[in-house]
Amino acid sequence: MSERSFNVFTARAEQIDPEANIIATYYVEGKDISIVEAGVKIAAEESIGTWTEVSTATEWIVKNLPAKVFEHKVQDKNTGIIKIAYPNTLFDFETGGIPHILSIVAGNLFGSSSLQNVRLLDLEFPSEFVSLFKGPKFGIEGVRKLIGTLDDRRPHLGTIIKPKVGLNPKETANVAYEAAMGGVDFIKDDETLTNQKFCPLADRVTHVMTALDRVKSETGRTVLYSPDVTTETYKLRDLAQVALDHGANALMVDVIPCGFSAVRLLAEDPSIKVPIHVHRCMHAAMTRNPKHGISMMVISKLVRLAGGDQFHTGTAAGKMGGKEKKIEELISINDFLKGRFYRLKATFPVASGGVHPTLVPINVLTLGKDLVIQAGGGIHGHPEGTRVGATAMRQAIDAAVNGVPLEEYAKTHRELAVAIKHWGMKFVSDD
Instruction: In whole angstroms, give the CA distance from residue 168 to residue 145.
Output: 31
Is 376 a binder of ligand 3PG (CB under 6 A)?
yes
Is 361 a binder of ligand 3PG (CB under 6 A)?
no
Give whichever of 237 and 319 is closer to ligand 3PG, judged by the CB atom: 319
Question: φ, ψ for residue 37 (rounded to 5)?
Answer: -60, -40
For residue 370, give Cα distances in angstroms to 91, 244, 381: 35, 27, 26
Instruction: In whole angstroms, give the CA distance from residue 251 to residue 231.
Output: 13
Pick the stretch among 8-16, 118-126, 265-273, 349-357 that binds ligand 3PG (CB under 6 A): 349-357
Q: Which residues are catalytic?
A: 162, 279
Instruction: Specify whether the backbone of 196 is left (phi greater than 0), alpha (psi in -120 to 50) or beta.
Output: beta
For residue 289, list its beta bridge partners.
none
Size of the site for ligand 3PG (CB under 6 A): 14
CA 278-282-285 angle, 5° bins: 140
Pick the stretch among 288-296, 374-382, 383-391, 409-417 that binds ligand 3PG (CB under 6 A): 374-382
Give whichever of 195 and 352 is closer to ligand 3PG, judged by the CB atom: 352
- Give the one residue of 25, 47, 313, 352 binding ligand 3PG; rule: CB under 6 A: 352
Instruction: In whole angstroms, give the CA distance from residue 398 to residue 150.
Output: 16
Instruction: In whole angstroms, give the CA distance from residue 334 to residue 296.
Output: 10
Pick the stretch among 92-100, 214-222, 251-259, 353-361 that binds ligand 3PG (CB under 6 A): 353-361
State the minimum distance, in angstroms, from the CB of residue 237 to ligand 3PG.
24
Pick the stretch among 28-36, 206-214, 302-310, 371-379 that binds ligand 3PG (CB under 6 A): 371-379
Is 378 a binder of ligand 3PG (CB under 6 A)?
yes
For residue 171, give Cα distances in angstroms to 181, 203, 208: 15, 11, 9
- Which residues lie below 8 Å from residue 197, measured CB to CB, with a gap of 6+? none
By rule CB under 6 A, what string of x and - marks binding of each residue 95-124 to ligand 3PG?
------------------------------
Give whichever of 134 and 319 is closer to ligand 3PG, judged by the CB atom: 319
Instruction: In whole angstroms, give the CA distance from residue 56 to residue 63.
Output: 14
Is 355 a binder of ligand 3PG (CB under 6 A)?
yes
Residue 337 identity: L
CA 376-377-383 angle, 5° bins: 125
State the minimum distance, in angstroms, from the CB of residue 70 to ligand 3PG.
39
By rule CB under 6 A, what string of x and - marks binding of each residue 188-227 to ligand 3PG?
--xx------------------------------------
Q: Which residues bind ligand 3PG (CB under 6 A)?
A: 160, 162, 190-191, 319, 352-355, 374-378
